[in-house]
Structure formats: C-alpha cells, structure tokens
C-alpha cells in the first residue's frame, strides 16, 4: 500500500462515516479513528468487499448489512467485575455515601453486553441496597441491548468471572448468581428486577436526568477530545450535585472542559464527584434530586 492509497483509504473512511450519519443518523464522526478503522477493515475483509467505498454503497442500499456493521462498531465485550479494585473502591468509598438516600438512581452509559451492569447489581445486593436502586442501562444499539437483557454468557468466561468476583471482595459465592446449561451461563433473573435497559445515544441524545451514580467505563477512550467534552457535559448535567461519576481505569475527566465541575474521590480508580450546588439554578436541581 502506497502513501497515496493510504490517503485515499482515510478519505473513504470519512465518507463512510458521513454516509452512516446521513442515512441512519448514527454519528461516529467524533470517534478516534484508529479503533473504528480497524473494526471497519475487519468487517471489510469478512464481507469480501474490496474497498471501503464498496462498503459505503453496501450500507446505503442494504440496511441488514448496515446492522451487521453497527454490531461491529458497538460491541465492547468486557468481563464481570473487570478491574476488581474498582468494585472494591465502589463498595468502600461510594456506596456508603449513597446509603442514606431514599432512592438511588444509577446510569450505566454504554452498557453493551451488560456484564458491568450485572456486576453492579450483585454488588448492590450484597450491600443490602439493591431494593432502593433503579439502574438504567443504556446503549445506542438495540441488538446489543437485547443480548444484555438476557444475561447469558459463554461458560469459558466463568473462571475469570469467578476470580474477578472474588478479588472484587465478593461476599458470597459467584455460583449463587447463575445457572449453567451446556456451554452457557445464565445470570439469575432476580438481578434484573431493578434494571431498565433502554436505548440512548451518548453522541446525539440529551441528558438523562438526576442520577446519583453514572458508570461509563472504557467507552470514552473511543471518542475524540471534542466528543469526550460533549459527553462529560452531558454527564455533569445528568448528575445530582454530589453524584458520582466512574470512568475506566485509564480515563479521566480532568483534562476536559468539565474538569471544574468535579472533584476527585478515588484517583486510582477514576471515581469523581460532582461538586455541590453553589448558585440558585443548581439549588433547583438539588431539590428534585433529594426526593
């Protein structure tokens, strides 16, 4: 591949992202390019098409093919209790602060296949807080939401899930939370009772109001700076004063335009807290957050 070919390929990538936006209103234009290009080229080679331009025509004319590509772009397979130290910090430094609220509203933004949401559900059950929690698990992709609702995972992952759960300070046995059949593991449906899975697009949709805790881990790494700033503002607007924001282990709010809206609670685990109200407008928001 020559330099010219590479330039052309990068142009084709931009055109494809624009085509997706124009035809389907999914906006990937603010995504960092290295990852999205890899995923697109992977689908390109799987599909037998020759160039990204060929793929552009395909997605414009064949919505089914677009849906396949959409899956590629949306799925972030993760693990139950990934980064066990994060869950230990949640248990120790965040939940005690929320314990006295009459209701706790939690938003998992970009929940993908749901492992993280169910991890949170288990944590809340073991802390005795689950009953007063409402968990909103959102993703822009309907297909992946459907999968997340099922709570079914391959049995090969069980060993690492169990180990992670134990390292995260799990109080029971991980086996208490699932049943297995053949090569699949199904999480207990009581974990799902207070979880509402719904469609929400971080790029194009508005604030998802008055949350006490927002978890968005290893999603923002895929966004460019401008899009990160946009999403941090969205999170700030969606949080009650004193509400918590939890990011992935290599993410930070501190270089964004919303840096001043947050204080650092647990630096190593990327847990931040929205500052308390300081003006009249904020106080209005605070009132509705307490009910």
Q: Which residues of the chain form contacts with another protein (CB under 8 A)? A: 1, 3, 6, 10, 32-35, 38-39, 76-78, 84, 218, 221-222, 225, 248, 250-251, 255
The continuous run of DSSP H or E covering 154 comes out as strand 152-154
Least Å distance, CB 261 to another protein, is 19
The continuous run of DSSP H or E covering 198 comes out as strand 195-199
Give CA–CA dist 77/79, Å, rounded.
7
Least Å distance, CB 52 to another protein, is 14
Least Å distance, CB 218 to another protein, is 5
Q: How many CA atoms lie within 13 A of 8 on its CB side?
A: 8
Contact 71, 63 (CB under 8 A): no
Q: What distance, in Å, lies between the first and last C-alpha atoms of the chain? A: 61
Least Å distance, CB 86 to another protein, is 11
Smaller CB separation from another protein, 212 or 218: 218
Q: Report the phi/psi class of residue 218: left, alpha or beta, with left for phi > 0 and alpha for psi in -120 to 50.
A: left
Smaller CB separation from another protein, 22 or 34: 34
Give CA–CA dist 198/174, Å, rounded.
27
Environment class of 88 (CB within 10 Å of its CB; exposed 0-12, middle 13-18, buried 19+): middle
Report DSSP state, residue 152: E
Least Å distance, CB 222 to another protein, is 7
Give CA–CA dist 235/285, Å, rounded.
14
Contact 256, 245 (CB under 8 A): no
* Burial per residue of 127-145, b for 16 or more beta-carbon CB atoms within 10 angstroms, e otherwise: bebbeebebbbbbbbeebb
Least Å distance, CB 251 to another protein, is 7
Smaller CB separation from another protein, 38 or 267: 38
Smaller CB separation from another protein, 38 or 186: 38
Smaller CB separation from another protein, 3 or 291: 3
Smaller CB separation from another protein, 35 or 173: 35
Smaller CB separation from another protein, 254 or 282: 254
Give CA–CA dist 264/245, Å, rounded.
10
Least Å distance, CB 17 to another protein, is 14
Smaller CB separation from another protein, 85 or 285: 85
Give CA–CA dist 90/86, Å, rounded.
6
Least Å distance, CB 245 to another protein, is 17
């Amino acid at each position: 591949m020559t330099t010219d070919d590479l330039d052309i390929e990068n142009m084709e990538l931009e055109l494809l992202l624009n085509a997706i936006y124009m035809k389907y209103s999914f906006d990937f234009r603010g995504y960092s390019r290295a990852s999205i290009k890899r995923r697109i080229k992977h689908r390109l080679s799987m599909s037998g098409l020759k160039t990204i331009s060929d793929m552009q025509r395909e997605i414009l004319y064949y919505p089914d093919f677009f849906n396949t590509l959409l899956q590629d772009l949306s799925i972030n397979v993760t693990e139950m209790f990934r980064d066990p130290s994060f869950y230990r910090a949640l248990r120790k430094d965040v939940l005690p602060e929320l314990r006295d609220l009459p209701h706790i509203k939690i938003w998992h933004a970009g929940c993908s296949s749901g492992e993280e949401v169910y991890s949170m559900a288990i944590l809340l059950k073991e802390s005795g807080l689950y009953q007063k929690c409402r968990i909103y698990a959102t993703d822009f992709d309907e297909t992946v939401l459907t999968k997340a609702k099922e709570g079914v995972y391959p049995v090969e992952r069980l060993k690492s899930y169990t180990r992670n759960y134990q390292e995260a300070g799990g109080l029971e046995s991980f086996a208490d939370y699932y049943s297995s059949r053949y090569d699949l593991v199904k999480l207990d449906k009581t974990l799902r009772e207070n979880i509402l899975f719904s469609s929400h697009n971080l790029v194009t949709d508005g604030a998802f109001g008055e949350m006490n805790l927002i978890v968005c881990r290893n999603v923002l790494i895929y966004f460019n700076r401008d899009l990160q700033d946009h999403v941090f503002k969205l999170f700030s607007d969606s949080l009650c004063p004193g509400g918590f924001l939890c990011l992935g282990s290599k993410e930070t709010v501190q270089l964004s335009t919303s840096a001043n809206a947050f204080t650092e609670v647990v630096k190593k685990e990327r847990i931040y807290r929205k500052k308390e109200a300081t003006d009249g407008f904020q106080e209005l928001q605070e009132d509705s957050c307490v009910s």
